[in-house]
Amino acid sequence: MKRRRLGSAVLRPPRAVILQLLAATVLTLAPLTPHLPAWAVVVVLAAVTWRASSALRRWPLPNKWLRGALAIAGIAGVYLSFGRVNGLVAGGSLLTVGAALKLVELRTQRDLRVLVALLYFTLVVNFLFSQELWTIVYLFACTWLITTALIGSNHPGGASTLPWRHAMRMSGAFMLQALPLAAVLFILFPRIPGPLWGLPSDDGAEPAGLADSMAPGDIRKLVLSDAVAFRVHFESTPAPRAERYWRGPVFSHFDGRRWTPGLVSPIPARYTVEGAAIQYRIALEPSRTRWLFALDLPDARDLPPDAAINGNAVLSSTRDNLQRRDYVLRSHPRYELSPVLAEAAMQRELQLPSDIDPRTRALAQRWRAEGLTSAQIVEHALRMYRNDGFSYTLEPPPVGRNSIDDFLFRTRAGFCEHYAGSFTFLMRAAGIPARVVTGYQGGSKNLYGDYYVIRQQDAHAWSEVWIARRGWLRVDPTAAVSPARIDTGVGAALAGTAGVPDFLRVGRNSHWKDLLKARWDWVNTQWNRLVLGYGPELQTQFMRALGLASRTAMVLALTACLVISMAILGLVMNRRTRRGVRPDGARRQWLRATRRLRRYGLRQKPSETAGAFVVRVCELHPASAEWIKAVYEAYVQARYVDPEDDRRRRELSRLARAPLP
């Protein structure tokens, strides 16, 4: 029985290692908490608190029955929250809850190693949510702390003989030694098509950016976000800001409140172009949608391999955008889109619910009865928006069932989706085919790079009307109400209104923040392009610059680098083995003191303990007896009793340097 209890004590992790592992767990799981349900965050905090109290105050850990019940409750909670236990968000939540519950099971060295492996895996999961440069730096620090705990737990004497500072130095040294080999493997190892990291398909995760429908308030929510939608580098002269309409989803069906695509022909719309094209490269952020944004009008003859244009001139991919992707397009600012419209398509673009918004219908029909042409009706409507007291605001008043009537005749305050939706309804009521187009408008040039950044705050909605023999024409009623929105940006258009986020405020005296933000975006852009986007094409270019034009030469170079690296590592390990283990600080001070006795012919034998050497010194050189006893006592205190006490180490150092009697 005594032997079994002794074995259990040997396997129990030291308290210092447990506290280090708790800190590593908190830091590793912290980036996942914004994606977790509130109850999962509470479980993590409760488990960390319970295990810390057990280590510091010897609280009892839960028994196996309670642990089993907590595990079942965690799985059930994830399923009830997401309707599934797999996928990015649901799987991340399950992994987080599992790691937290493993903390309250942490009793033996085996449990510790399982938790360490789980934390290493969680580090990789974090990359599925963010691959920005700060994530790499942060998770590198987490890896350092996890490895420190692993080293401390595997030290023969436990944490009492390996101070945490020394363990952290060892962990940092191991990681720094691995970096050159990792860099060689990253550069030379044959790349697979596409970026290394992407978002898995996950029905439980919300799409980012523009949705596949539009209702009042949808675009407003996007404008409150400063997240990047995509970046654009123009190969030629950039398009003027007023013409930078980045086309996205087009909506033709209206149910009285929400606009949806309706029936869309997969056959590309017919168009003709004139004038020079604009060529540009787009770096699109992951969105879990299939929209590929483009300036009006993208050239259908020069599209990415997995892209297509439908009958509404919407560019989309054949798969969800689960990872950053680059694509090159050519667009023609001057075009004629669908100058001839089929009867079925015309009826589809005139569809309206029959029992709503009578005042708007009456207004449109009165214009038509006055003998106005379609072009004149468009100008008449824009003049109404411009001159009849309409305002552009983030906080529009609520509207009722007849939302268009309420907006046009009562509130007259709204955001771009209100203007695009009401204008399209008004045109259809007047017998003019019309539809809503959503996307982004504008974008800001980065101060340190030759590219433009389009953020969610640049989300916009406008209209298209069909005029006989002219085709679909872009009409932006928001520009009639607030020209500053198109010419300067949404921040200038909303200046002086309530509810505007700080990043949209003009003249907020934060120029240094803007400069820092632009610099950081430039750094992240280079990181995305050179590291995350390091695919076969970029690797081939880099290898050619190194003189390795063929894949065979690249594989041979990789093999040579690996052989040389392993040879160097073997030589270093062999040298360290011959030299022996480097003594710690207390041991070095003891060796320094004993070397001073060599002048008297007193040397500590390899098989002689420190205590036996002190006894021999007292017998052969009594004058040094008091001094060597004091050094020995300080050495025992600094190395074995309290190795983390700086005061004891300083006392040992003082005695080791003290003059001999």
Catalytic residues: 416, 460, 476
CB 268 within 8 A of CB 312: no
Residue-wise burial string across 36-63, b where 16 or more C-beta atoms lie within 10 A, e elsewhere: bbeebbebbeebbebbbebbeeeeeebe
Structure token pair of residue 169: 């130095």
Other C-beta atoms within 10 Å of 529: how many?
A: 16
CA distance 614 to 626: 10
Q: What share of the chain is helix, strand, coil (3-state, %, to 5)?
A: 55, 10, 35
CA distance 428 to 378: 11
Closest C-alpha among 414, 416, 465, 460 to residue 438? 460
CA distance 139 to 146: 10
Distances (CA, A) of 357 to 218, 422, 429, 611: 21, 10, 10, 99
Angle between helix 88-103 and helix 64-82 axes, rounded to 10 deg: 160
Burial class (CB in 10 A: 0-12, 13-18, 19+), 403: buried
Say if residue 297 is preceded by a cis peptide, omega within 30 of 0. yes
Q: What are phi and psi of 208, to 5 degrees?
A: -100, 140
CA distance 278 to 297: 10
CA distance 586 to 631: 11
CB 477 within 8 A of CB 382: yes
291 strand-pairing partners: 316
Burial class (CB in 10 A: 0-12, 13-18, 19+), 296: buried
CA distance 200 to 202: 6
